[in-house]
Amino acid sequence: MPNLRNINTEVLSNNWYTLRKVTFEIQKQDGTWETQSREAYDRGNGAAILLYNPEHKTVILTRQFRMPTYVNGNADGMMIEACAGLLDQDNPEDCIRRETEEETGYQVRDVRKVFEAYMSPGSVTEILYFFVAEYSQDMQVSDGGGLDHEQENIEVLELPFAQALAMIESGEIKDAKTIMLLQYVQIQGWMN
C-alpha cells in the first residue's frame, strides 16, 4: 500500500456529478516523495444486469443515445447495452430490480450478483455491481423504455444470444459492461 501525505482536494465541478482535483504526495519505492495531481469524477456507484433466457437462447438489451460516445466519434450516439443504473440510495440488488422494470419492462424474480468492478479506475470512482437473471415472457409487466422525468428514451431489444456475441465482434456492441456480461454468460455455458 502506498504511503500518502499532504492530501488536498479541490472541487472543480459539482454540476451533474462531482469532479475533484486531488493533489498529494506519494512515497516512491526508493523512499523519496513525489507530488502528484489527479482528477477524479464521482458519479456514484451503479449496477448492471443481463437478462437471459436459456430455453430460447435470447437476451434482453437496450438501445439509447449516449452523448459522450457521440462526441467521441460514435456517429449517431446510439449504444446497445445491458440494463443499468445508478444506485442512488439503494443497495445494488434493489437498484437493479428497479432499473430492470423501468428500462426493460421485466419484473425478474431471481437476480444473482456475479462480480463487481471499477470501470475506469484511472479517472472515475464508480464501482459497478454486475448481475444476471433468467427471464421469461410471463415476467413482462410493461413495455419498459425508461422514465420520462429522467429523460430516458430506451428501446428494448430481445436478441438471440449468438447474434449479441457476433455484435461484439462486428463492433455493434461497444459497451464494456455489456461485453463483460455477455462473455460471462458464454463462459458459464448457460446458453449452450
* CATH no., domain 46-188: 3.90.79.10
Give the DSSP letter of residue 136.
-
Between the CA of residue 136 and those of 49, 53, 129, 182, what are the distances in Å?
A: 15, 7, 23, 18
- Number of alpha carbons in the 13 Å side-chain half-sphere of residue 122: 0
The per-residue pLDDT of the chain, averaged, comes to 93
Residue 153 has what pLDDT?
A: 80
By the 8 A CB rule, do 86 and 43 touch?
Answer: yes
pLDDT band at 131 (very low <50, low <70, confident <90, very high): very high
Sketch the domain layout of the chain as residue ranges: 4-42, 46-188
By the 8 A CB rule, do 85 and 79 touch?
Answer: no
Q: Is the pLDDT of residue 75 over 60?
A: yes
- Element spanning 60, H or E: strand 58-65
Taking each continuous run of H as one helix and of E as one strand, the counts in the chain are: 4, 10
pTM as predicted? 0.90
pLDDT digits (tens, 9 = 90+) for 90-114: 899 999 999 999 999 999 989 999 9
Q: Is the pLDDT of residue 152 over 90?
A: no
Residue 2 has what pLDDT?
A: 84
Q: Give just the sign of the alpha carbon dihedral 68, 72, 77, 82.
A: negative
Residue 85 has what pLDDT?
A: 94
- Element spanning 50, H or E: strand 46-53
